[in-house]
């Protein structure tokens, strides 16, 4: 089984969408093997968004993701990386199909409610930022 990293962003937590999003993930058949709510530090955010450092929107990303609590999780399932990306929908909510998480809940590109790793290497790197091996269930 494949594993990936997923996060409900501050606006999703603030808007009370945690239950609805977790329900969609579990209904899809993904198993949540680690889950926690936390307030990201700037250092964590810098690690998470390292590939965007130096880009014009980098500071905005950091400020946004550290603006309130997030829900971080590790999901497990068959082809979960690709499947989660489809379930989330396009990054820009205007382009996200109805029925996807972003299509149904996101309001703008900078506040698109959810993040999911885009590759196996990103998933591994992101999981290591947020979880120790002891925190991840079997």
pTM score of the predicted model: 0.95
Count other Cβ atoms within 10 Å, centred on residue 19: 8
Active site annotation includes 64: no
CA-to-CA distance for 17 and 79, rounded, in angstroms?
24
Catalytic residue among 48, 52, 64, 115: 115
For 6, the enclosing helix (H) or strand (E) is: strand 2-8
The domain that contains 64 carries what CATH number? 3.30.70.141
Per-residue confidence (pLDDT) for residue 137, from 0 to 100: 85
Cβ atoms of 74 and 136 within 8 Å: the answer is: yes
Domains in the chain, number: 1
Structural domain boundaries enclosing 62 = 2-135
Q: In this predicted structure, what is the pLDDT of residue 109?
A: 86
Contact 58, 51 (CB under 8 A): no
| CA-based nearest residue to 137, from 59, 68, 73, 60 | 73
As a dihedral over the C-alpha atoms of residue 102, residue 103, residue 106, residue 109, rounded to 10 degrees, the angle is 80
CB 7 within 8 A of CB 114: yes
At which residue do the structure tokens 């969408």 appear? 17
Residue 46 in contact with residue 66, Cβ under 8 Å? Answer: no
Instruction: For the chain, 138 residues long, give each residue's pLDDT as a single digit of tens.
Output: 999 999 999 999 999 999 999 999 999 999 999 999 999 999 999 999 999 999 999 999 999 999 999 999 999 999 999 999 999 999 999 999 999 999 999 998 889 999 999 999 999 999 999 999 999 987
């Amino acid at each position: 089984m494949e594993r990936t990293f997923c996060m409900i962003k501050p606006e999703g937590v603030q808007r009370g969408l945690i239950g609805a999003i977790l329900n969609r993930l579990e209904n899809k058949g993904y198993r949540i093997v680690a889950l926690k709510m936390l307030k990201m530090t700037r250092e964590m955010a810098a690690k998470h968004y390292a590939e965007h450092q130096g880009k014009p929107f980098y500071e905005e990303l950091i400020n946004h993701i550290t603006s309130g609590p997030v829900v971080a999780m590790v999901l497990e399932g068959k082809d979960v990386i690709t499947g989660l990306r489809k379930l989330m929908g396009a990054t820009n909510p205007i382009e996200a199909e109805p029925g996807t998480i972003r299509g149904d809940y996101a309001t703008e590109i900078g506040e698109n409610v959810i993040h999911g790793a885009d590759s196996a290497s990103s998933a591994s790197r992101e999981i290591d930022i947020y979880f120790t091996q002891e925190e991840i269930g079997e």
